[in-house]
Amino acid sequence: MIEIIIMNNPQPVQASIEFINQTNLEPTTIKREGAGKAYQSVALSMSIAIQDVTDYQRGIMAMVQAVVGVSMEKIVQNPETNLAQYSPVIAEAQGIVNKAVDTFAKVGSEAGKILEDFPSGD
């Protein structure tokens, strides 16, 4: 059916093709679409950066949980001698967690700024 319409009256089809070429191949359209694609790529990169720092934080938390667990076990076994020895270890572990949280916040904030400042092609 479509072939018959095209063969009998090719002018509307040709006009449609010309319209599509004019609107889609126009330099302004190409530039805007290119900028939009670049923005999407940067957005994806920022998302991956946040995922990476989340994985980092998850790894830190697993390590700290192990350190605190072993330290608490030692303290329970002999509180009089081990409390003074292992309390600083637990405090240091908490400091490591705090640094990981700060790193997460910084990466998230910077990723947001980068994305906000990147031209979107509007």
Portion of the chain with pLDDT greater than 90, in percent: 66
- Residue 59 CA to chain centroid, in angstroms? 18
- Does the model's pTM come out above 0.75? no
> What does the pLDDT read at residue 121?
67
**What are the structural domain ranges in the chain?**
11-117
> What does the pLDDT read at residue 59?
97
What is the dihedral angle through the alpha carbons of 15, 17, 19, 21, rounded to the nearest 10 degrees? -150
The beta strands (E) that lie in the chain are given as none
Residue 122 has pLDDT above 50, yes or no: yes
Residue 13 has pLDDT above 70, yes or no: no
